Amino acid sequence: MARTPPVRIHARGDAARLDGVLELVAFAAKPCPLSTSLDELPRRIAAILRADVCSIYLLEGDDLVMRGNVGFPSTALGEVRLVIGEGITGTAVECMRPVTTAHATTHEKFLHFPTLGEERFPIFLAVPVAGATGPLGALVLQRAREPAFDEREIELAAALTAPIAAAAERAHLREALRGERRTTPGGGTRRVTLPARPVSAGCAVGIVSAMRRPASRPAPEPKVSRKKSVETFDAAITHANNTLATLIARAKSLGLDGSQLELVRTIVADGRLRERVIELIDEGKGLALALQTVGGEAAREAAKSAMPMMEERAREISDVCEALAMLCSPDRRGAIARGAVLVGDRLTAFDLLVTAQSGVSAIALSEPVTTDSARTMLGLMGVPAVADVQGLFKWAADGDLVLVDGDHGFLRVNPSRAEVAKVRVASKG
């Protein structure tokens, strides 16, 4: 009579790697925000495969962008970028096969990022993340010292790319990158994740509110005395000066470059600007039209000079004049609802002077942030911020609910209730 083969139940604690894999599978089975997956999956995979560094790259257009990581500074998220075929990681995605090396820094394909200090982790494994119709990104594991990744570890790493693919597909990232705006039958925008570059850390939820500007043609202004116009104008200058003084002091305390704010303050305090505005008031122009005229005059003079520095100065003068016009006017077109997500192309002196005190919850910009002064202005707003948001105005409009993820560099249009609750709970904690 044949003996029944023994049955073994592999209990928790028998094998740390098995426990880790089962816990990861259980985690991946539960729907969760992309940001949570990008935080949790690298941490869990690094523990399972005994890696010092674990990175998740997502394919966004032609770029492989680091969106999840343990082992490197958080500032790398959204900033470390490759193209397919570039570096060891890009090579793995190009050939859709794992690539390993025990000496990454001497590999002909190694691409150095000074901010990462990758030379500390030469044991390197890059595994492509496959989607239904092509590559979605890559999983990268690194160690500081031997042993190199063996065949079983490579096979396991390849299997563990499945939850990464599921998270990316659930986020509808690929749909957003196609650029076509899609709506649900009810008329609302579909839930979609727009890739961006993180500027200020943190996450926030709010209703989209586009950046406002004064009307291109000021409405007819009520007749007021010259004295009243000058008093209103001087009060706006005082308010702007006080706001700038507060922002400059905050920049200094945070160690930020406040030189651009100092420049704006010199424009606000320039006696020639005040004299010209009062001169135009004496000619019968209303206050808003006088300020608009001064901004236009500065632009025309700069155009004659054809000097980039003069043109930049003219833009600053125009921004200041628009801000002063809004501060002088009962027109609330520039007002932003408290808790809104401010959306626009770029942040200017106008936005600092008019919306800085509005209590916005986050900022999303369609253009990249390329200067220290722009980063300073965003930093002084003190809220999560992302820039270079791909497809921002195709997918997000006034009144849409969005989630701004300034940690990983995403803007989520129509986030789920679970995503909203998670952010709100975190903000209270």
Q: What is the CATH number of the domain that holds 367?
A: 3.50.30.10
Once rounded to an integer, what is the mean pLDDT over residues 296-308? 75
- Do 36 and 84 reside in the same domain of the chain? yes
Pairwise pLDDT comparison (326 vs 266), residue with the higher score:
266
- Do 117 and 38 reside in the same domain of the chain? yes
pLDDT band at 180 (very low <50, low <70, confident <90, very high): low
- Do 70 and 113 reside in the same domain of the chain? yes
Element (H, E) at 137: strand 135-143
- Do 236 and 256 reside in the same domain of the chain? yes
Q: What is the pLDDT of residue 224?
A: 76
- Do 285 and 387 reside in the same domain of the chain? no
pLDDT surpassing 60 at residue 187: no
Q: How far apart are CA 276 and CA 298, in angstroms?
A: 11
Q: What is the pLDDT of residue 217?
A: 62
Once rounded to an integer, what is the mean pLDDT over residues 282-294? 86
Q: What is the pLDDT of residue 137?
A: 95
Q: How many domains does the chain have?
A: 3
Q: What is the pLDDT of residue 141?
A: 97
Least confident of 58-62, 145-149, 175-179: 175-179
- Do 61 and 109 reside in the same domain of the chain? yes
Q: What is the pLDDT of residue 184?
A: 47
pLDDT band at 185 (very low <50, low <70, confident <90, very high): very low
Least confident of 12-16, 125-129, 183-187, 366-370: 183-187
In-domain check, residue 2: no
In-domain check, residue 186: no
pLDDT band at 222 (very low <50, low <70, confident <90, very high): low
Q: How far apart are CA 204 and CA 385, in angstroms?
A: 9
In-domain check, residue 178: no
CATH number at residue 291: 1.10.274.10
SS3 30: coil
Q: What is the DSSP letter of 2?
A: P
Residue-averaged pLDDT of the chain: 85
- Do 28 and 154 reside in the same domain of the chain? yes
Instruction: Determine how many CB atoms are found less than 10 A away from the CB of residue 294.
Output: 23
In-domain check, residue 282: yes
Q: What is the pLDDT of residue 186?
A: 37
Q: What is the DSSP letter of 76?
A: G
- Do 197 and 345 reside in the same domain of the chain? yes
CATH number at residue 26: 3.30.450.40
pTM of the model: 0.80
- Do 350 and 391 reside in the same domain of the chain? yes
Burial class (CB in 10 A: 0-12, 13-18, 19+), 304: exposed
- Do 377 and 267 reside in the same domain of the chain? no
Least confident of 6-20, 38-52, 148-162, 389-403: 6-20
Burial class (CB in 10 A: 0-12, 13-18, 19+), 196: buried
CB 191 within 8 A of CB 414: yes
pLDDT surpassing 60 at residue 301: yes
Angstrom CA distances, 302 to 5, 274, 367, 427, stand at: 89, 19, 24, 45
Note the helical H segments in 74-187. Answer: 87-95, 151-159, 162-170, 173-178
Final residue in a domain of this structure, among 166, 184, 202: 166
In-domain check, residue 151: yes
In-domain check, residue 173: no
6, 396, 61, 69: which is closest to 208 by C-alpha?
396
CB 89 within 8 A of CB 118: no
Q: What is the pLDDT of residue 145?
A: 92
- Do 296 and 342 reside in the same domain of the chain? no
- Do 313 and 351 reside in the same domain of the chain? no
User: In this structure, what token pair is assigned to residue 312?
Assistant: 């930049």
Containing domain of residue 93, as a range?
Answer: 16-166
Instruction: Label the pairing between strands 341-344 and 203-210.
Output: parallel
In-domain check, residue 322: yes
Half-sphere exposure of 88 (CA within 13 A, CB side): 26
In-domain check, residue 9: no
